[in-house]
Structure 1
């Protein structure tokens, strides 16, 4: 262990002071203040008071509506049920004892307490611990220790089945004040887990693609600070996969595995592993800047596709979930809980002694009815498509275990095959695949059983074998095959900008769908989506409501370039033959600020007149200085004329895209070498406004 640095001793309150000021129990949750220093060492300010008031007064089922109403990042972050996805899938059972370090406001605690026999929490903040306790007041298996982990740690037992640090390990140097805080932190943690237990660490990847693409570093809120090695310091440090592995190995932890939460560990919708990495085209949900504005330097989906093609996803995944200990059987998890409660479920790919299988697991009791109906749907769909060449992946109801199970099918999704056709511009093959899709799915359409969600992504193709792998949204109704095909195309095109090259009119013609019918199908799809979501807003809609910007530097650069081009100043010389483009140039670097310019124009005795074009757009110009060889030039049409109008002496408005000011230097006292000194203020004005101003001025200058 590294040499300890000197740190202030904690200020302990007397037991009677603690009891008088802080509740030892909130509902069924126990709070322990033995090592609390008497005040919170960190806080997010007034927003924590607001969150505390919410969890005191509202039930969990009200949180989604509150999140939508408040349109606030901290409230979304601390109260969203999607936060629990990161640990929900772990095989924690009622016999397991869990330690959560950095429990905060309890978003993860809530899920752990649902699964485990007991949960011990450690957090620095009393206020956050109170939020945790109030939101989980109905749980009788939670104890929260308030104070610094290094003070509390010696009193903790050494027999935990799981130790969870979700967004906490990066603060190791705040908990442990040594020269090697992260190694020492991990060693300390490691001694508190059973020999066959597991340590779970969720953390941002220092090299996560989102940071290269323009997201600010999560802890500092600055651009590229993690990529640059935190040159400005800060309380947190994130790591690459290799950096984490180095820490684990240096502490004697040789058995570990990495999972890759996507989009990141805060609100994961998918969790990949080395046994099941994402496919090209799978990572499409990349605009997740709920907390801050961001730049958009490139399209992350396309860059992810290239990364996956070259086998580099483990280097650039936005987040890591490291499992230290015995490897898990789960290789992939997908959450479908950004929807109505009665449809919330988790899909897993699991490796078993008999081979790889797929499970769909309801996330609550009300979703069980939705799940268990899939076995009946399998039988009905199998009967409908018997003899068609379209296979239905078998569903087995595991009622005692509370999920349904499917064989794991190999193949390439029809969606991916169609994308490949578009990339190669092989439209003949695209139409062949689409026609085959329509031929297969239209089979038996007179039967009162329809897989309404028979989209291209839900069909795997392996040679001549086409298999439907997901039929969750089956209805016992007759639905025209053209409607199902239209919906598949509609969803396909909406999901990816590059697919806009498709000739939809041609496809609609192949299906015999008129525009009126297409519009009816679109409206039906909107109603279906409202049914699925329970009219709740998606995470994408919440991001828009919160109001942070996605700024494209390329767009800004083009706008700035256009602005520069519009405002650049061009100088023409008349040497007795009039003004000519060949005898002109742009004057660089003359702006003093956004609107004021200052320039000295040298010219010789051969010049008869000078023309200054102050911009390439409509504008107003105010002359601040106009001197020849140090002597002021009268602002009179004898010496100067414009193609604008004078608002008053020295102030002109131009409604043209080619404003100009001509100085007849031949009528001025010039010498062999001369200098025209000009200072003016140039303000861009919309053309229609400039025209109105000019119309109000009766006299040309």
Structure 2
């Protein structure tokens, strides 16, 4: 299988085919050479590999090597015989997935350094060719079934508000499609809920920048749902928009928001996980992203506020990339390959079904008991628990404990039977909605880890003052343990954290390497167990932080005033001491003058005495005295 671009006689550099003499553009994140080194040294370069991720250190390196990078396209049903043109391929994580899925992939990337990485990432795939250049360098012939544009459209106009550069780019893509072909496009939403709740815009790194329509300019421009649909339509496509969370970069869920809102609206709140991954951008705690999203969804506005969009643009007939009965597809992000799962939500004969698939060789902890099951309707355990008083909470936890014990058989326990995976049905029955992992052990282990993660969920979705006097998540966990009649001391806490760290390291890629267990345990301790209850989404907000700063400023001013008064008092004392010293100096000068005068008197007296001793009278008197002494008469009384 070939394509027009492959038939051209092109110069090659490190197996990258050059579409122009100097294909490079000045856009880099600085990680390209290191990522190239990681890929070259890796033995597993498949799209689901975690080997390269384990070698990555910086955010940029993780971004380019994370297996979740391809999830936004994994949500689609790409035909195995498809001919694909990928425009703006970056370092090749999506190129790799396309090469594993489709029959032919032509990958075009304008940054030569990134194209080199993409070529290395697909070094063992004969159906993939990597080109360095731009979309206009590709022969203008209808040769592809799909044109894939992920994270590219926002850059083509250099941030300009004029729609023409974006339309021209999309028309170029349209001209390369065969009849029945489709555009697949992913981009951030300028009105994404994460931006509404305090996260800085991904490209300009300024808060509210896209919501205010980039008043200071921007290197990249994103669009709202209506504006994006208008652009895609203006280029000759019939667009179909999907909501993506947390974004298209490390996708957790792709969902058809309007259909879900009409059939199972609660899914809109259940499928995304919050807070979203923030890609190193700063975030100010303005509001709970989850709760704001819930309110937008309940108001029928979910289609406008997803963090990213996936767009499938049809040409002359609807593509078969998304099954008609599918509502959503979601993924387990940050898991090792053997525990990674893909889950689809479908409507079949008016029944909502959940279907889950694992890798061909699933991990030993995987339970196969819930690969397909009907969607269960009810209220979350967290929500119901928060509404009760202490007695009601104790009773609810006791019912949950009995459920955990009923799911334990022959020394095996369901690790997923935790409150976060429990709903309260309309009848009041507790039902488990997700059951993946089993392990040997007792029900006590499930109760301990269940209450640990339940404490986290409570703080993530309720005001911290509800759980006073608990000051940390750990103290709340201990209070929850007390409600089920369990006492835990520091040694018990250490054991629970150690067991949970071992489980997390076995299943996830959050901590890798020889010291993974120690680092994971430390993370559980410092970032969760010891975390202040006011540092959670409904804890300290911007106005709280502002009030704290005002209080600190007042305290500092009071401190400064106190110190100023002390300095003034000290200065007055210094002045008094200075006056005393001045008087003492005057006295010293007076005494010194008197001393000089007395010395002068003494000198005159000595001179006079010497003069007297030299006088004749003195000498005669002295001689007479000596004569009298010689006669023995001096000093004798008559």
Q: TM-score of the superposition, structure 2-length normalised?
A: 0.71
- What is the correspondence of 1:153-172 to structure 2 with a 5 Å cutoff? 155-172=139-156
- Using the TM superposition, give the Cα deviation of residue 162 of structure 1 relative to its aligned residue in structure 2, in angstroms: 2.1
Q: Report the equivalent of 1:193.
A: 177
Q: Does 1:524 align with 2:499?
A: yes
Bigger shift: 175-184 or 233-242? 175-184
Q: Report the equivalent of 1:345.
A: 341
Q: Report the equivalent of 2:250.
A: 267
Q: Does 1:454 align with 2:417?
A: yes
- Using the TM superposition, give the Cα deviation of residue 120 of structure 1 relative to its aligned residue in structure 2, in angstroms: 1.2
CA distance in 2, matches of 1:213, 1:619: 45
CA gap 1:120/1:558 in 2 versus in 1, 3 angstroms: same
CA contact (8 A) 1:208 1:318 kept: yes
- What is the correspondence of 1:468-547 to structure 2 with a 5 Å cutoff? 468-475=432-439, 477=440, 479-497=441-459, 498=462, 501=466, 508-509=481-482, 511-515=484-488, 519=493, 520-533=495-508, 536=511
Bigger shift: 274-283 or 41-50? 274-283
CA gap 1:486/1:49 in 2 versus in 1, 3 angstroms: closer
CA distance in 1, matches of 2:483, 2:556: 53
CA gap 1:448/1:181 in 2 versus in 1, 3 angstroms: same
Bigger shift: 51-60 or 81-90? 51-60
CA distance in 2, matches of 1:156, 1:306: 46
- Using the TM superposition, give the Cα deviation of residue 134 of structure 1 relative to its aligned residue in structure 2, in angstroms: 0.8
Q: Does 1:116 align with 2:102?
A: yes
Q: Does 1:38 align with 2:18?
A: no
CA distance in 2, matches of 1:457, 1:634: 67
| SS at structure 1 position matched to 2:450 | helix
CA gap 1:533/1:441 in 2 versus in 1, 3 angstroms: same
CA distance in 1, matches of 2:66, 2:503: 24
Q: Report the equivalent of 1:331.
A: 327
CA contact (8 A) 1:169 1:203 kept: yes
CA distance in 1, matches of 2:455, 2:578: 60
1:367 aligned to 341, 354, 362, which one? 362
Q: Does 1:57 align with 2:34?
A: no
Residue segments in structure 2 that go unaligned for 5+ positions in a row = 1-7, 468-475, 528-536, 580-638
Q: Does 1:211 align with 2:184?
A: no
- What is the correspondence of 1:15-414 to structure 2 with a 5 Å cutoff? 19=11, 22-23=13-14, 25=15, 31-33=16-18, 35-44=19-28, 46-60=30-44, 71-152=57-138, 155-173=139-157, 180-254=164-238, 256-274=239-257, 275-276=259-260, 278-280=267-269, 283-286=272-275, 288-325=277-314, 326=318, 328-329=322-323, 330-352=326-348, 355-362=351-358, 364-367=359-362, 374=368, 378=369, 395=370, 404=371, 406-412=372-378
CA gap 1:356/1:45 in 2 versus in 1, 3 angstroms: closer
Post-superposition CA distance 1:46-79 (Å, at most 9, x none): 5323322332333446985665665312212112
Q: Report the equivalent of 1:695.
A: none
- Using the TM superposition, give the Cα deviation of residue 472 of structure 1 relative to its aligned residue in structure 2, in angstroms: 1.6
CA distance in 2, matches of 1:531, 1:618: 60
Which structure: greater strand fraction? Answer: 1
CA contact (8 A) 2:86 2:95 kept: yes
- Using the TM superposition, give the Cα deviation of residue 473 of structure 1 relative to its aligned residue in structure 2, in angstroms: 0.9
- Using the TM superposition, give the Cα deviation of residue 188 of structure 1 relative to its aligned residue in structure 2, in angstroms: 2.9
CA contact (8 A) 2:140 2:175 kept: no
Post-superposition CA distance 1:123-161 (Å, at most 9, x none): 212221111001221111112232121232xx1542422
- Using the TM superposition, give the Cα deviation of residue 522 of structure 1 relative to its aligned residue in structure 2, in angstroms: 4.6
Post-superposition CA distance 1:472-524 (Å, at most 9, x none): 2124x4x4434433332222112331386467667535544232595444543
Q: Report the equivalent of 2:616.
A: none
| SS at structure 2 position matched to 1:367 | coil
CA contact (8 A) 1:165 1:200 kept: yes
- Using the TM superposition, give the Cα deviation of residue 634 of structure 1 relative to its aligned residue in structure 2, in angstroms: 11
Q: Report the equivalent of 1:419.
A: 383
Residue segments in structure 1 that go unaligned for 5+ positions in a row = 1-14, 26-30, 379-394, 396-403, 570-612, 624-632, 642-701
CA distance in 2, matches of 1:111, 1:70: 19
- Using the TM superposition, give the Cα deviation of residue 163 of structure 1 relative to its aligned residue in structure 2, in angstroms: 1.7
- Using the TM superposition, give the Cα deviation of residue 118 of structure 1 relative to its aligned residue in structure 2, in angstroms: 1.2
Number of matched residues?
Answer: 523
- Using the TM superposition, give the Cα deviation of residue 106 of structure 1 relative to its aligned residue in structure 2, in angstroms: 0.6
CA gap 1:565/1:534 in 2 versus in 1, 3 angstroms: closer
CA contact (8 A) 1:567 1:616 kept: no
CA contact (8 A) 1:100 1:121 kept: yes
Q: Report the equivalent of 2:402.
A: 439
CA distance in 1, matches of 2:204, 2:144: 33
| SS at structure 2 position matched to 1:322 | strand
CA distance in 1, matches of 2:549, 2:509: 44
CA distance in 1, matches of 2:413, 2:33: 50
CA distance in 1, matches of 2:71, 2:578: 73
CA contact (8 A) 1:566 1:615 kept: no
Q: Looking at CA atoms only, which structure, 1 or 2, has the larger radius of gyration? A: 2
CA distance in 1, matches of 2:566, 2:155: 55
- Using the TM superposition, give the Cα deviation of residue 467 of structure 1 relative to its aligned residue in structure 2, in angstroms: 4.1
CA contact (8 A) 2:145 2:182 kept: yes
CA distance in 2, matches of 1:237, 1:195: 30
CA distance in 1, matches of 2:396, 2:158: 57
Q: TM-score of the superposition, structure 1-length normalised?
A: 0.65
